[in-house]
Structure 1
Amino acid sequence: MSHHCADDQRSVRDGHLSEPATAALGAVAVVVTMDTKGKEASFLADVIKARGRSTVLIDIGTSSNPNLARPTDGAGARLASPAELLKEIAATTRTRVAGLLASGEISAIVAIAGGKGSAAFGEIVSDLPYGFPKLLVTSARPALLAELATHHDIILYPTLVDLFGINAFTARVLENAGRAISAMHYEPSKHERERKIVAITAFGVTTPAANQCVSRLADAGLDAIVFPANGAGGRKMEQLIAAGEFDAVLDLTTTELADELVGGTASAGPGRLKAASRQQIPQVIAPGAVDMVNFGPPSSVPDQFRGRRLYSHTPYTTLMRTTSAENANIGRLTAERLSQAQGPAVVLWPAKGVSDYDREGGVFWDVDADKAWLEAIKGNLQREITVHELDCHINDPEFAEAAVTWILEQLGQGGSSRADV
């Protein structure tokens, strides 16, 4: 079955764009399952064209991709599920989109999708650069959208109504989506950056430390990009480190490892604390917020943790204090991953607490549990990596000064420090 977004448009497989791109902007790729969303795709393409942008139609419908393996009743033949077919289409399309980007033909991408199409779109855009405009107009369930948000910088536009052709409600959504994506475009940097960039991890309970580090780096002429250590932030930081975006990492807040090991909601997955080691860039590692594991409202805390020390950070976030045994496991995992470092690395230990809640008199103050992390680090870290024990809290100015001074020395920026690191 052959479909077109507009009379003068052809799919990417035909090798044509709908019309010449404007001098300043590339085309907008429109990703859609034409067998179910053809009317919506045509409407959206017309909105985009009316604003001076050309479009490239990318059809990911299973019925219009005849070259893929199909379910069959043949004896002994493999039955391909719709999910498997869509995953194969997404992989093929990801390669195609990368080629369009490399050739400069597209500078933005938009999709119209339900649940399966939204999942496929997440796969399709996974290799696109950070900041490349990625807009998803979707009727998918909120849980899927939340998952997509933890992996990509996709702009999510939930329709709230289902997508069954053009009506008074879907027209409003598609008009807005078309206007929005028409105004966006990606332009790769043509010049080497003038200032070095340091990636920093932060949580609410380590924000004072992050603020001080950002300020100190700025004074030294360096830029700092801060990532929230909430799972999505750590995962994105690792991806950008691997892409060569940073000159050093100041990993103040490694709390995502606690969630990874204990089962909280802020895990960044098994790729955390690995990219900087492979990229051979300097990295400071600190135990920021490893005293806590994240859950949702109190009712969401698993039954196995009833009776543990819990604290309501907000009505929607419940924090659980880590035990000595858990901190030992977190420290061991940290040491194992950091030991793979191929570049300069150092561990800084704040003896007076690892978060705002972990200080004398605080709700999570537990010296023995904290020390379990330190002892596991010292017992499992390769000898070439030094552990510096500082007699201060992680949010004290002395800690930020020590961390930034080490980074500056590794980057050849000089600088003085009041801390002996």
Structure 2
Amino acid sequence: MSDKTILVVGTYDTKNDELEYMVERVQSLGGGTLSMDISVLGDPEKPTDYSKHDVAEAGGSSIQAAIDSGDENHAMQIMAKGASTLAGKLFEEGKFDGVVILGGTMGTDAALDICQALPLGVPKYVVSTVSFSPLIEPQRLSADIQMILWAGGLYGLNSVCKSSLSQAAGAVLGAARAVERPTNDRPMVGMTSLGSSCLKYMKKLKPELEKRGFEVAIFHATGMGGMAYESIAREGRFACVMDFALPELGNLLAGSVINGGDDRMMNAGAAGIPQIVAPGCLDLIDFAGWQDIPAQYQDRPFHAHNRLIKSSGLNAEERRETAREMAKRLKSSDTPAHVILTNGGIEEWDREGQEAHDPEAFAEFCDEMRKQMTDPILFTELDCHINDQAFVDTVLKVFDGWIADGTVKAGGN
């Protein structure tokens, strides 16, 4: 008997040999397989475990409806919906332990939906001709998706594409064997931050929260980290969130690609998770290191963090806009949201003498925060910097109060 079972998904009418090769590779390594066909027009050379008809029906449609649509995009969306629904159901029933999906642009489009339908901790491998491509919108990537470029894989097997396919087969089976899936042993606090050269509170908060019986997951707020944080919040997995690094919100408003998605700061409230929030690093707009700084930002305070990321300061009106948007999103929450403003600074580089020091613009931001953070938002203003001990102490005071009154479920020891 095999120890782990891998779901192998793809369009068997056009990629039968490649998909069967991956099935064979997984089985040769001692793994079990289930096959799922998401084709529309053609048929596999031999029956798959889940046919295209099973897939379409799982999505509330049929293969004939997909064909009758006369549009390949619409047809594949029918199959993507069905495959996502069916994969989710099969996983809940314990039928497989990891998934590998093969595709060009059509198959990859469906693969992204399938991966988002599966929980965090389920190994998800996509072998695609467009892996890592700017064609793939970051918001469509699930928190723990893995992608392998399908080199030389447009049509038929060859030694080049076998290299990609065999790696994927071994990787997904190895991941299924090795993974330690998230547990519910302790309630979890989700926290956003940046590296400790910019924001330092996590170093002191994490051990204190762990003493109180909570697990702490800290997310790097540089776009993909924010998306992972939001996806887990959407699932209601956090007992409380401490959203203290918000550059992704400012980036979203400014049009930077380094953002956490349109729903940044929306999912915790929608899922009934209490929020403690601070506007850490909400004074900068981030750019990819390889980009030229747009002309309208070239006269701003500037910080080059490394070759991957660099930042320019937001002006006074842009900062006021971020405060307004922050309030708007928090006021949609169904659970308590407590905002802490440190009027002495919100990231290490805004201190006097540092690159991002802009006291006039920061003063206007603080003024707008005071105006916007009204009921039902709870609001505390501190005469300190976000990296000072006073901020940590205030966060813990709010958190302990919420434990005492039952807003946050207490952790075990």
Same fold (TM over 0.5): yes
Q: Which AA in structure 1 matches 2:22?
A: L
2:153 to 149, 156, 162: 162
Which one-letter code corresponds to 2:368 in the other structure?
A: A
CA positional deviation for 1:202: 0.8
Indicate conservation of the 8 Å contact 1:298/1:318, yes or no: no
Structure 1 position 40 matched with structure 2 position 18:
yes
Once the two structures are TM-superposed, the CA of residue 149 in structure 1 deviates from its matched residue by 7.9
How far residue 258 of structure 1 moved from its aligned partner, in angstroms, is: 0.2
Give a deviation string over 1:190-247, Cα, whole Å, max 9, x none.
9973322110001135441222221221233322100111122212212211212110
Match of 2:34 in 1: 56
SS at match of 1:227: strand
Counterpart Cα distance in 2 of 1:300 and 1:150: 26
Show the counterpart of 2:340: 348
TM-fit CA distance, 1:302 = 3.0
Residues 382 and 187 of structure 1: CA distance in aligned 2, closer, same or farther (over 3 Å): farther
Question: Which whole-Å CA distance do the structure 2 matches of 1:84 and 1:190 have between them?
Answer: 35
Match of 1:269 in 2: 261
Task: Check the 8 A contact 2:284/2:314 in 1, yes or no.
Answer: yes
Q: Secondary structure at the match of 2:286?
A: strand
In the alignment, which residue of structure 1 is the partner of 2:235? 243
Q: What is the RMSD computed on CA atoms of the aligned residues? A: 2.7
Aligned 8 A contact 2:10 2:103 in 1: yes
Q: Does 1:183 align with 2:161?
A: no
Looking at structure 2, the residues matched to 52 and 163 of structure 1 have their Cα atoms a distance apart, in angstroms, of 28
Q: What residue in structure 2 maps to residue 256 of structure 1?
A: 248
Shift of 1:85: 2.0
**Higher alpha-carbon deviation: 351-360 or 324-333:** 351-360
Q: 2:185 aligns with which of 182, 194, 198?
A: 194
Residues 266-345 of structure 1 aligned to structure 2 (within 5 Å): 266-297=258-289, 299-345=291-337
Task: Provide the C-alpha distance between the structure 1 equivalents of 2:199 and 2:140, rounded to a whole number of angstroms.
Answer: 21
The question of 1:108 aligning with 2:86 is answered: no
Contact 1:206/1:288 (CA < 8 Å) preserved in 2?
Answer: no
Identify the residue that residue 140 of structure 1 maps to in structure 2: 130
State the secondary structure of the residue aligned to 2:341.
strand
Indicate how the Cα distance of structure 1 residues 327 and 226 shifts in structure 2: closer, same or farther if over 3 A, else same: same
Structure 2, unpaired ranges of 5+: 43-51, 53-62, 407-413
**Between 261-270 and 135-144, the greater mean CA deviation after superposition:** 135-144
Gaps of 5+ in 1: 1-20, 72-77, 415-421
Give SS of 1:276's match: helix
Which residue identity does 2:262 align to in structure 1? P
TM-superposed CA distance for 1:259, in Å, is: 0.6
Residue 393 of structure 1, CA deviation: 1.2
TM-score (norm 1): 0.84
How far does residue 373 in structure 1 lie from its aligned partner after superposition?
A: 2.9
Counterpart residue identity of residue 172, structure 2: I
Query: Is the contact between residue 145 and residue 156 of structure 1 (CA under 8 Å) also seen in structure 2?
Result: no
| Residue matched to 2:374 | 382
Deviation at 1:144, TM superposition (A): 4.3
Q: Which moved more, 1:29-38 or 1:283-292?
A: 29-38
> Identity, % of aligned pairs?
25
Partner of 2:403: 411
Using the alignment, how far apart are the partners of 1:309 and 1:248 within structure 2? 34
Please give the alpha-carbon distance, in whole angstroms, between the structure 1 residues aligned to 2:308 and 2:36.
39
Task: Tell me how far 1:339 sits from its aligned partner.
Answer: 1.4
Bigger mean CA deviation after superposition, 148-157 or 314-323:
148-157
Relative to structure 1, the CA distance from residue 265 to residue 107 in structure 2 (aligned partners, 3 Å threshold; closer, same or farther) is same
**Matched-pair contact (CA < 8 Å) for 1:336–1:381:** no
Number of aligned positions between the proteins: 385
How far apart are residue 150 of structure 1 and its match? 6.5
Range with greater deviation from structure 2 (373-382 or 125-134): 373-382
Residues 308-334 of structure 1: per-residue CA shift (max 9 Å, x gap): 333322223220101110111100011
Other-structure match for 1:203: 194
Please give the alpha-carbon distance, in whole angstroms, between the structure 1 residues aligned to 2:266 and 2:345: 25
TM-score (norm 2): 0.85
The one-letter code sitting in structure 1 at the alignment partner of 2:355 is: V
| Residues 68 and 372 of structure 1, relative CA distance in 2, 3 Å threshold | farther
8 Å CA contact retained: 1:41, 1:112:
yes
List, as ranges, runs of 4+ consecutive aligned residues in structure 1 with deviation greater than 4 Å: 186-192
Q: Is the 8 A contact 1:107 1:187 kept in 2?
A: no
Are the counterparts in 2 of residues 352 and 393 from structure 1 also a CA contact under 8 Å? yes
Once the 2 structures are TM-superposed, how far is the Cα of residue 142 of structure 1 from its aligned partner? 3.0
| Residues 289-314 of structure 1, C-alpha deviations (whole Å, 9 max, x = no match) | 10101112364333443433333222
1:121 Cα deviation (Å)? Answer: 0.2
Cα offsets for 1:261-286 (capped at 9, x unmatched): 11112221221112222233321110
